[in-house]
Amino acid sequence: MNIQALLPAASNPKIQAFRSGDTVRVSLHVIEGNRERTQTLEGVVIRQHRGGAGSTFTIRRVTRGIGMELTYLFHSPRLEAVQVMRRGRVRRARLYYLRGRFGKAARIKEAQRMIPGGQLFQGGQAATEEAEAPAAETVEEAVGPQQDAQAPQTS
């Protein structure tokens, strides 16, 4: 009997959709003795392994000149959240070549991609026209001609 066939194939609701090259922030529930805390790490996704319940993703981050790669299970109960901070424009699924690069050579260009739902992804969240419209109205009200009509006349 195949155990993976029995496990649910639904995606983890705590994880935003991401691809290789994206910069993500991973929040992980850590238990150390009697203490519990949330550890947050940010890094570039260098690979994804899609294998049902055993699906994993690996993030890479360089701290003080030392590269660190961490692999997480998509369906881990300790995984609290995965937020996409930047969308990267890459042409490979496995970004192992970043291991040999550092500094400016390891930069990844930012991509402007649509996220599921038809919204454009920008800076950690989706930009919507509804969010931009109220801001534009408040500016028009503050600068409108009504203020000139209410100004006291000195004659």
* Cα gap 64→88, rounded to integer Å: 23
- Please say if the pLDDT value at position 4 is more than 80: no
- Please say if the pLDDT value at position 5 is more than 80: no
pTM reported for the whole predicted model: 0.65
Q: Is residue 153 part of a domain?
A: no
Contacts of 8 (CB under 8 A, 6+ apart): none
* Cα gap 143→63, rounded to integer Å: 48
> Could you read off the pLDDT of 18-41 as tens digits, one per residue?
888 899 999 999 999 999 999 999
Q: Are 85 and 59 in contact (CB under 8 A)?
A: no
Phi, psi for 151 (deg, rounded to 5):
-70, 140
Give the range of the structural domain holding residue 66, as residue numbers without chain letter: 7-110
**Are residues 75 and 132 both part of a single domain?**
no
Residue 83 burial by Cβ neighbours in a 10 Å radius (0-12, 13-18, 19+): middle
Q: Is residue 154 part of a domain?
A: no
**Are residues 70 and 125 both part of a single domain?**
no
> Could you read off the pLDDT of 81-100 as tens digits, one per residue?
999 898 888 888 898 888 88
What is the total count of domains within the chain? 2
Q: Is residue 118 part of a domain?
A: yes
